[in-house]
């Protein structure tokens, strides 16, 4: 099939879209900016997605910002159309309940109460239907790749045993739980725009925008549907270029923008562990900061107060800043610990479990007020627990599924008719 997607067209799209945005020429709003096989993407579609990307990433809506992110946003929209078209061919669909659950999971990952995300975006001028469209594309792709993996990936007992032997030989080595934002450079003429976008995303990360939010909006790796999550990684499981970057990062650290042989990547390390060891949560030591925001009589509705709490605390870099923020807001703030996680009350343990150091929880409505908790320190209690054969089998399946997804979308791009119009 014929494919046309070249840098001059993208630059023309950027300039024309910028002119459209500022002059608000109504006659252009339904003009087609790209055709993916037999499906059109209009100015209206692109404008809505641009605003969603800017708001989700905490990037100011300026002409310069739009010019930087438009090419990557358009390419990601094209990928999503290809994915949905392929899913339709394979008779894969999602229910509204499936999408509702995916929205709730995104809220949880970003420390937001359930039911807050879509109303919050709507107040910022984002059509909730557009958000659900993107989530539908992401989740449909996950389901499609999973179905393909079930029929194509067969893990034999010998392979599992080989991996178990490899793990035994790597006892004591470090591995990391990592996430990625990948910006491919498919044409030398795309180099500058990919670099500019990557630098803009780093600015967002430094200002507190969640890594997963940026990965969902801009990364063009299959992992974007899961907020860029790569899972547990050790040497030999990923490309040497990626492995070399991860070796230099400690827990909670994010790399600079790195040029690889195929594009640009930003990597973050969420957790680290030693091969053959695992964390015993109950005996691990945790230190917390707990903020209680009062809800006096006549205060706004609880949903609005919960949303305010998210905005107040999101992006807070550490517990010292969290404590100062609470004091300034007139909240009661107190430190808890260090104490064993197993000794915490059940509800507090539920809130804290899964949080990283310097990460805030979703707000909790209580009789005391709106409670937000931050993990200040976490000292792991490690035990030697070699993985089971079933755990190794699942890990191999996840690795193969990721490789299958990357190859699948690459083949769809190559076979598609893609026409960018301006």
Number of domains in the chain: 2
Residues 98, 184 within the same domain: yes
User: Over 90: is that where the pLDDT of 269 sits?
Assistant: yes
Same domain for 321 and 413?
no
C-alpha to C-alpha distance for 331 and 297, rounded to whole angstroms: 16
Which parts of 148-205 are beta strand (E)?
A: 174-184
Residue where the block lists tokens 């990626």? 242
Specify whether 287 is located in the same domain as 413. no
- Does any domain span residue 326? yes
Better pLDDT: 385 or 63: 63
Distance, CA of 115 to CA of 122 (rounded, Å): 12
Q: Are 359 and 108 in contact (CB under 8 A)?
A: no
Task: Please determine, for residue 12, whether its predicted confidence score (pLDDT) is greater than 70.
Answer: no
Which has the minimum average pLDDT: 80-84, 162-166, 324-328?
A: 162-166
Domain shared by 45 and 167, yes or no: yes
Residue 7 forms part of a structural domain: yes
Q: Residue 322: is it exposed, middle or buried by C-beta count within 10 angstroms (0-12/13-18/19+)?
A: buried
Q: Please indicate, yes or no, if residue 311 is contained in any of the structural domains.
A: yes
- The parent domain of residue 234 ranges over 1-276+395-422
**Residue found by looking up tokens 């990625």 in the block:** 180
Q: How many residues does the chain have?
A: 422
Q: Do both 17 and 42 map to the same domain?
A: yes
Same domain, 249 and 323: no
* Residue 54, both tokens: 């800017």
Full DSSP string of 307-364: HHHHHHHTT--SHHHHHHHHHHTT-EEEEEEEEEGGGS-HHHHHHHTTPPTT-BPPPE
CB 107 within 8 A of CB 56: no
Q: Is residue 346 located within the same domain as residue 418?
A: no
Q: Do the domain assignments include residue 372?
A: yes
Q: What is the pLDDT of residue 422?
A: 57
Residue 390 lies in a domain: no
In a domain, residue 389? The reply is no
Q: Is residue 32 part of a domain?
A: yes
Same domain, 369 and 238: no
CA distance linking residue 82 with residue 75, whole number of Å: 11
- Kindly state the tokens that stand for 185: 């450079």
pLDDT value at residue 31:
85
pTM: 0.66
Percent of the residues in the chain that have a pLDDT greater than 70, as a whole number: 91
> Which contiguous run of DSSP H or E holds residue 136?
helix 128-152
18 pLDDT band, cuts 50/70/90, is: very low
- Rounded Cα gap, residues 398 and 402, in angstroms: 6
69 and 165 in a single domain? The answer is yes
Give yes or no: residues 36 and 132 share one domain. Answer: yes
d(CA 301, CA 268): 37
CATH number at residue 23: 3.10.50.40
Could you tell me the end-to-end alpha-carbon distance of the chain, in angstroms, rounded to an integer? 21
114 and 199 together in one domain: yes
Q: What is the pLDDT of residue 235?
A: 66
Domain presence at residue 192: yes
Lowest mean pLDDT among 21-25, 226-230, 270-274: 21-25
Instruction: Read off the pLDDT of residues 71-105 as tens digits, 9 standing for 90 and up.
Output: 888 989 999 999 999 999 999 988 899 999 989 88
User: What confidence score (pLDDT) does residue 203 get?
Assistant: 87
Do 62 and 20 belong together in one domain?
yes
236-242: average pLDDT: 75
């Amino acid at each position: 099939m014929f494919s046309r997607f070249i840098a001059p067209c993208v630059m023309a799209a950027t300039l024309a879209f910028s002119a459209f945005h500022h002059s608000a020429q109504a006659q252009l709003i339904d003009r087609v900016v790209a055709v993916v096989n037999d499906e059109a993407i209009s100015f209206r579609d692109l404008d809505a997605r641009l605003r969603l990307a800017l708001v989700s990433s905490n990037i100011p809506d300026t002409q310069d910002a739009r010019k930087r992110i438009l090419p990557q946003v358009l390419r990601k929209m094209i990928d999503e159309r290809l994915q949905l078209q392929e899913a339709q061919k394979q008779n894969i669909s999602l229910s509204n309940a499936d999408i509702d659950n995916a929205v709730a999971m995104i809220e949880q990952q970003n420390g937001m109460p359930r039911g807050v995300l879509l109303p919050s975006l709507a107040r910022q001028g984002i059509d909730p239907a557009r958000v659900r469209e993107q989530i539908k594309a992401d989740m449909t792709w996950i389901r499609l790749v999973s179905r393909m993996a079930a029929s194509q990936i067969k893990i034999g007992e010998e392979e599992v045993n080989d991996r178990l032997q490899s793990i035994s030989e790597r006892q004591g080595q470090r591995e990391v739980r990592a996430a990625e934002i990948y910006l491919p450079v498919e044409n030398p003429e795309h180099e500058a725009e990919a670099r500019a976008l990557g630098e803009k995303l780093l600015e967002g990360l430094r200002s507190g925008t969640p890594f997963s939010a940026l990965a969902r909006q801009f990364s063009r790796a299959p992992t974007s549907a899961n907020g860029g999550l790569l899972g547990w990684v050790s040497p030999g499981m990923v490309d040497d270029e990626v492995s070399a970057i991860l070796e230099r990062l400690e827990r909670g650290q994010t790399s600079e923008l790195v040029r690889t042989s195929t594009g640009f990547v930003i990597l973050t390390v969420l957790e680290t562990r030693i091969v053959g060891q695992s964390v015993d949560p109950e005996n691990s030591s945790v230190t917390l900061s707990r903020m209680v925001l009062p809800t006096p009589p006549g205060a706004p509705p609880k949903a609005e107060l919960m949303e305010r709490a998210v905005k107040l605390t999101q992006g807070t870099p550490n517990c010292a800043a969290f404590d100062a923020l609470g004091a300034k807001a007139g909240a009661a703030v107190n430190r808890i610990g260090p104490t064993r996680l197993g000794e915490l009350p059940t509800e507090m343990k539920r809130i804290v479990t899964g949080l990283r150091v310097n990460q805030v929880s979703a707000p909790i409505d209580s009789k005391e007020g709106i409670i937000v908790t931050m993990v200040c320190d976490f000292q792991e209690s490690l035990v030697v627990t070699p993985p089971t054969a079933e755990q190794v089998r699942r890990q191999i399946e996840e690795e193969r599924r990721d490789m299958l997804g990357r190859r699948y979308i690459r083949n769809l791009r190559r076979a598609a008719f893609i026409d960018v119009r301006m």
